[in-house]
Amino acid sequence: MELKTVQTRHVPVRYFEGGPPEGKTGPALVFLHGAGGVTAEDPFLNALAASHHVYAPLIPGYGDSEECPEIRDMLDFTLHSWDVVEALGLKDPILVGHSMGGMIAAEMAAIAPNDLTRLALIAPAGLWDDDHPIVDMFATLPFEMPQLLFHDAEAGAAILTAGRNVEDPGFLQAYLVTNARQLGMAGRILFPIPERGLQQRLYRIKARTVIVWGDSDRLIPPVYAHAFKKGISGARLVSIPEAGHMVIVEKTAAVVEAVEALG
Amino acid sequence: MKFTWFNLMPWPYLPDDFREKNRSVWVDIDQKLFDPAKSHEVYNTYMDLLEYADTLGFDGVGVNEHHQNGYGIMPSPNIIAAGLARRTKDAAIVVLGNSIALYNPPVRVAEEFAMLDCISGGRLVAGFPVGTSMDTNYCYGQIPSLTREKYQEAHDLIIKAWTTREPFAFNGRYNKLRHVNIWPRPIQQPHPPVHIPGGGSVETYDFCIDNTYSYSYLSFSGYLRAQALMSGYWKRVDERGVDKSPYRAGFAQTILVADTDEEAERLYSEHVSYFYNRCLHVYPGFADAPGYRTIKTIQTGALSQYAPPRGGYAELTWKELTEQGHVIAGSPETVRQRMEDLIKGLNVGNIFCLMHVGNMPADKCMYSTKLFAEKVMPKLRGMFPDWADDNRFWTTPLDKRVASGRLPKEAPTGAELARTYGVEA
């Protein structure tokens, strides 16, 4: 994965780009990351890149990218993401979004239904059911995250803390700054309830849609998978056992397979 | 010097095992711990104490706004302030303040503060906090990284509503109002003095300097720990080339006076312990929503004051709490000395005296308050003689004010009215 920059009207956007080895090509695919962000080492991105030309733009404020105060609400996020697709010179890419990225992808598909034919929503946010309230991730302490994000919390904790010295005050300071930049931005569409009216727009989606969910997702419980399936005409649901919200890490191959089935 | 008697209004019946059995005193505190019938006496006692402070010559009586909070049962300070405006005579009514990003539209604050200023005869000090993350984000659902932008707009709208003499349109991002035209408007001109409670946000320093507002640091950890933050503020004042009037700053301090140092410990230590161990038991997940603080502020290392000191407050004894300055307590002479250190050390002219602490009963609170008013306050009054005439940050009441209870006990008879108004019976 190579880290590059593309200019949109409002802000320069950082994105990862990668594709199949020399001599091979694959369809263009845009991946929108979740609230935790994405790195060049992300196993899911790299697995997708074996068969696709992958573009993974960072939401402004994520990673080393510039913040964008003008992006405030759901419409801003949605149009910004279309601006990025346009700036990358892509037409009708396969659109894949995980968690917060899934919420944005669904909104993009709903606002411009004729510009998108293939959509993969992986444990997307965006709906709310009073009977199944989603955990307040903004009031969750770091040590509580593995339990919410992974089927195997112990292995998940090892992944989340790999290469980090949590006792180092310098790390802590950097962590707080990163958190404020990234989750501060995410909060604009996820805080305090990750719902901005998507329910009443889902019917507009025309893309062939696959919904992927880990059976052990404790952040956004699988009951929401059915709500998405019900709302999007003809959507296919792929439920993956022994996987949590980070299904893209825990069962990478199974998710890639579901995306590839979109054609 | 301006001394404001302040009551956070803690709920005094948190159980002994509160800390062990509950994760937070704030946001998701157990509903069952509040007893509405008991609160009747609690509220009235707390209001009586505020009124008592007025009779002892405190310059102000102070209230503030918290939500879903076991140590501050005052979601609407304006309701308490309205009672005080009627029942006090001379003290400024210091509302510190209204979290203006939470009012929809914020014109409501312009109106209610105007009412308080009118009812009190121009005795209002208007506080505009951004509000803690617990209140603003977790209880009232404001988006953390947009809170400051919304706050700024609310401020601009309120000041414009106070100072514009004809109806105007306000096309804000968060407020679209075609006809802003508040009725009533405040007595004090151009508007009541404004105090801004801050917790170390560097942007707030400039905001206060730009607008001639007083910067208030409302901390519970005392004056020794406040040095770094306040010297940052004064450094900025210096850089901006404005005067260093001590009334540009305020500081909140827990103060407890008794006859002797020993008596202070004997009378007050359990209440101090109640406050620091039970009332400040805030779940760390609620301390600071990501995006609430600006990057610049985080980089300066000014973390949430609700992040407890290493080891937590629970392990702090009376001796540590007093020696480290969280609490200033002791004989009048001990308290005078330490207050002088505080006032000089921080260069603050406005002191918010937290004289009710935790589950302190009214009799002890009156005892401490009276000793402070009579034996400490007079000795501190003359500090900062060079700035004695600086009234930019304090109230300008009407000279002639009316008090409550002026009406005759009995309604007049028809004959009396006829005499009064010169009509033949």
Q: Is A226 buried (19+), middle (13-18) or exposed (0-12) by CB count in 10 A?
A: middle
Q: Which residues of B136-158 are buried (b: 16+ CB within 10 A; e: fewer)?
A: bbbbbebbbbbbbbbbbbbbebb
pLDDT digits (tens, 9 = 90+) for A63-78: 999 999 999 999 999 9
Alpha helices in chain A (DSSP H): 43-48, 74-87, 100-111, 145-149, 153-161, 169-190, 223-231, 247-250, 252-260
Separation between Cα atoms, residue B256 and residue B271, nearest integer Å:
11
In residues, how long is chain B?
425
> Is it the case that residue B316 has pLDDT exceeding 80?
no
Question: What's the gap in Å between the CA of B408 and the closest CA on chain A?
Answer: 54
Strands (E), B309-368: 327-330, 350-354
SS3 B395: coil
CA distances from B408 to B88, B378, B403, B404, B405 (A): 20, 37, 13, 11, 8
pLDDT digits (tens, 9 = 90+) for B341-357: 999 999 999 999 999 99
> Is it the case that residue B308 has pLDDT exceeding 60?
no
Report pLDDT for A38: 97
Q: Is B177 buried (19+), middle (13-18) or exposed (0-12) by CB count in 10 A?
A: middle
Separation between Cα atoms, residue B230 and residue B217, nearest integer Å:
8
Cβ contact A185–B291 (<8 Å): yes
Query: Which sign does the torsion angle of CA B258, B261, B262, B264 carry?
Result: positive
Mean pLDDT (whole number) for B187-194: 98
Predicted TM-score (pTM) of this structure: 0.95
CA distances from B232 to A101, B127, B198, B200, B297 (A): 40, 21, 12, 9, 12
Task: Select from B284, B286, B290 the Cβ nearest to the Cβ of A187.
Answer: B290
Residue pair A251/A202 in contact (Cβ under 8 Å)? The answer is: no
pLDDT digits (tens, 9 = 90+) for B119-128: 999 999 999 9
Arithmetic mean of pLDDT over chain B: 94
- Lay out the sheet containing A94-98: strands in order across: A2-7, A12-18, A53-57, A28-32, A94-98, A118-122, A208-214, A236-240
Report pLDDT for B306: 53
Tell me the residues of A at the B interface, defined by beta carbons under 8 Å apart.
Answer: 69, 72, 138-141, 173, 176-177, 179-188, 191-193
Cβ contact B289–A187 (<8 Å): yes
Calculate ∠ Cα B359-B364-B369, nearest 5°: 110
> Is it the case that residue A112 has pLDDT exceeding 90?
yes
Extract the tokens encoding A255: 């998710």
Q: What are phi and psi of A150, to 5 degrees?
A: -125, 150
Calculate helix-pair angle for B147-163, B107-120, nearest 10 degrees.
Answer: 50
State the ipTM, two decimals: 0.94
- Chosen from B143, B149, B303 to mutate, greatest number of chain A CBs within 10 A: B143
> Is it the case that residue B57 has pLDDT exceeding 60?
yes
Separation between Cα atoms, residue B159 and residue A220, nearest integer Å:
44
Chain A residues inside the 8 Å CB shell of B137: 138, 191-192
pLDDT digits (tens, 9 = 90+) for B247-299: 999 999 999 999 999 999 999 999 999 999 899 999 999 988 999 988 888 87
Extract the tokens encoding B163: 């100072």
Report pLDDT for B198: 86
Separation between Cα atoms, residue B377 and residue A256, nearest integer Å:
73
Chain B residues inside the 8 Å CB shell of A191: 137, 141, 143-144, 289, 291
Separation between Cα atoms, residue B239 and residue B234, nearest integer Å:
9
Task: Select from A141, A182, A187 the Cβ nearest to the Cβ of B144.
Answer: A187
Separation between Cα atoms, residue B328 and residue B322, nearest integer Å:
6
Cβ contact B291–A187 (<8 Å): yes
Report pLDDT for B293: 87
> Is it the case that residue B311 has pLDDT exceeding 80?
no
Residue pair B132/B97 in contact (Cβ under 8 Å)? The answer is: no
In this structure, are strands A2-7 and A12-18 parallel, antiparallel, or unpaired?
A: antiparallel
Separation between Cα atoms, residue A121 and residue A64, nearest integer Å:
26
Report pLDDT for B147: 96
pLDDT digits (tens, 9 = 90+) for B393-413: 999 999 999 988 899 999 999
Separation between Cα atoms, residue B361 and residue A193, nearest integer Å:
41
Residue pair B195/B393 in contact (Cβ under 8 Å)? The answer is: yes
Separation between Cα atoms, residue A205 and residue B290, nearest integer Å:
32
pLDDT digits (tens, 9 = 90+) for B14-36: 999 999 999 999 999 999 999 99
Q: What is the DSSP letter of B131?
A: -
pLDDT digits (tens, 9 = 90+) for A145-182: 999 999 999 999 999 888 777 778 788 888 889 999 99
Cβ contact A187–B143 (<8 Å): yes
Band (B309; pLDDT cuts 50, 70, 90): low
